Amino acid sequence: MSERAIHARFNIDQGSFALHADLALPGRGVTAFLGRSGAGKTTLLRAIAGLERHVGYLKVNDEVWQDDEIGLFVPTFRRALGYVFQEASLLPHLNVRRNLEFGWKRIPPSSRKLEWKPVLSLLGIEHLLQRYPDGLSGGERQRVAIARSLLTSPDLLLMDEPLASLDPTRREEVLPYLERIHDELAIPMLYVSHSPDEVARLADHVVLLEAGRVLASGTIAEVSSRLDLPTAFEESAAVVVEGKVESHDPHYGISRLRVAGSLVQVAGCGPAVGDRVRLRILARDVSVALAAHDDMSVLNQLPAEVMAEAPSNNNAHVILRLQAEGMPLLARVTRQSRDRLGILPGKRNLVHDA
């Protein structure tokens, strides 16, 4: 069986901007390129697509698309990839059906890996086929654009901030469909974003970029819990973990999840027992105590060990990296509380999380 992996190595020099990347990425699931504007996310994605020619090497699963050492460069139109841009870029004079056929008919029947009806169902667009782009909402246009890319039977799906042009309501409309693609299709996806919320919901692997440098590349749990990255010091700092639903309490509207060795309670009874779900636990929502308390409203009190500490981006706080029975956590606490409680790396404490 061939290795399912993506190897991308590029040296990009555009005068005022340079990017150097040497990445080994999973050949399944969603890899997110995360970073602020100007970090190089879109530049790297366009190099992978072949839309920009830069010195490098690219292998997608068992196919080499670029190897400058032997003079190999597969042009974009010969690469089995789908590309979804910020704007849907549908052909305005064609209805949805004909926009989809534009991608579908490019692929010989013998090479088609995805069928028409399942793709329409996956994106929930069966009822839109006779509509024209100007009669669609922003979320509907983007779902049609994603379906058009899938109907080209890509070996790699590239998404360049596909939700950036949508308002929050439309963004929430589209995200569940992206989650379905993640869960139901084996096509690897490279997803550019500057939104931690999107990345938390979709990504299995994260590449963190800053000013053309790769600061980190790893699973989302690994990267989100590191103290040596700038994301740990932002107001939105959070660890993303995955758990399995063990039970529901319909009376109180509470679900109990198994996350590593910890049992965590969360509000809501949506997912079914046995389903796997993700939690994004903000550092500012985690507090540390030396003993258990019965006289407080928080749902979760977990034994944890302080693994490391780093200074915060202000003089009042420090950031702690914790391990709660195998579950990584970050906590933002005041320096005063740290000193008063004697919180030190290696010390066992009790973590409180709402």
Location of each CATH 3.40.50.300 domain in the chain: 5-224
What pLDDT does 350 receive? 62
* In the chain, ranges of CATH 2.40.50.100 domains: 238-353
Q: Which residues of the chain have pLDDT under 70?
A: 1-3, 349-354
The per-residue b/e assignment along 325-338, b for 16 or more CB within 10 angstroms, e otherwise, is eebbbbbbbeeeeb
Per-residue model confidence (pLDDT) at position 111? 82
The whole-number pLDDT of residue 297 equals 85
Q: How far is CA 322 from CA 136, 285, 287, 316, 347, in A?
A: 47, 13, 11, 19, 10
pLDDT confidence of residue 344: 84
What pLDDT sits at residue 123? Answer: 94
Fold of 238-353: OB fold (Dihydrolipoamide Acetyltransferase, E2P) (2.40.50)
Q: Provide the 3-class DSSP secondary structure of residue 122.
A: helix
Residue 9 dihedral angles phi and psi, to the nearest 5°? -130, 120
What CA–CA distance (Å, rounded) separates 311 from 112? 53
User: 3-state DSSP call for residue 230?
Assistant: helix
**What per-residue confidence (pLDDT) applies to 1?**
37
pTM: 0.89
Kindly indicate whether the domain formed by 5-224 is annotated with CATH number 3.40.930.10: no
Strand order in the sheet with 63-67: 72-73, 63-67, 55-60, 5-13, 18-26, 213-219, 205-210, 30-34, 189-193, 156-160, 81-84
